[in-house]
Every structure is written in C-alpha cells, then in structure tokens.
Amino acid sequence: MLKKYPGYNFIIDDESYFTLSHTTQSGNDIFYSNNIEKTPEIVKYKFQSKYEEKVLVWIAISPKGISKPYFRNSGLAINRYVYRVECLDPFLIPFINKYHKDDTYVFWPDQASAHYAKEVQDYLNTKEVPFMPKSINPSNMPKVRPIEDFWGYLKAKVYEKNWSAKNIDQLKKKIMLCLSKWTMSLYRGLPVV
C-alpha cells in the first residue's frame, strides 16, 4: 500500500456510535430491597429501555483537517445509498475541495460493503476521487488507520468529567463543540501510516 502511494495524503473516513452517557453495557441498575413485599410497585416494575439512545457519527480526516460530521439516528445503518448520497456528496467532496484540490491524495475507506458498492465506486470515479482498491486495503487493522484513535480522543473530550447528555440534540451539540476545538496538533499526535 505504501509502495503504491508514496508521498500521498491519506483521507480516511469512518463512523462511530456515541451514547448519551458513554455506556457500552448495562450497569448494575436494578433495585435492592431487604423486604420485597414493602417495595413499591413503581420501583419493582419500572420500565427501562434495553439500550441507551445513541447517534452514529460519520467523519473524514486527513493530515490537513477534519470534515463536517454527518449524524444519523440510532438503528439506521449506513448502506450504499446513504453513504454515497448523505456522506460522500455533501461532506467528503467539499472536504476534498477545501483541503486537497491541488494535492496528491488517496481516499481510504474501510472495507465495509457499502464503501465498495459498485455505485459508490462509480460515483468516486465520476468525481475523479482516487480511492484505495479493496484488494490492497488491509482488513481488520485498526492501529494502521489513525481515525480509530481519533474516535477515542474525541469520545474522551465529549465525555470528559463524566459528562452525559439528556437527549440526542444535546449530544450532537457537545460533539460539534469538541470538534470545533480540535486542532491539527492533536491530529499530528495520532499514528500516521
């Protein structure tokens, strides 16, 4: 891969989920009682959702900057149509035009099937965006892709001091605030291929 793209800037995209309170598993949130018969019904049978609300965030990064994020409600996957129409066209192409118009660069998606769908490849070719061929794209190597560490740093900032959101809109605003404070010196601290 490095032999094929010496001196190129890599533009990497990815998506990650953010929850209201940054929990990944259910905690010990059941009630305790030394007398179950005296425990009020409202406590014993309190309705809880199985999973915490979350939002999917898509973003592209390169050594020159960060794209605007795309937010998608929980439970809605990024398929080839969503990827092309809602991520690449409104976010990736303007990012490339802003930071890499006169650059030697290659777009490096992960190996998700939506990223290599025929219509997505056709779209990228039409827009003259050089992209990493799937045949040389390393699979399951998160430490090679700096965006994987980017998510960890961003989540650390979003949930700093045990912050949690009351709703999805508040969570989106906090993510946007943290991204607005992101500096390229933070990016340069990430491992680079």
CATH 3.30.420.10 correct for 9-18+48-188: yes
User: Based on the number of CB atoms within 10 Å of its own CB, is 38 exposed (0-12), middle (13-18) or buried (19 or more)?
Assistant: exposed
Q: Over the stretch 64-99, which tens digit does the pLDDT of each residue have?
A: 889 999 999 877 778 999 999 999 999 999 999 999
Contacts of 140 (CB under 8 A, 6+ apart): none
* Cα 190 from Cα 154, distance rounded (Å): 12
Residue whose C-alpha is closest to residue 164's, from 49, 53, 3, 58: 53
Overall pTM > 0.75: yes
Amino acid at 164: S
- The encoded tokens of residue 178 equal 């943290």
Eight-class DSSP state of 103: S
Q: What are the boundaries of each domain within the chain?
A: 9-18+48-188
pLDDT band for position 44 (cuts 50, 70, 90): low
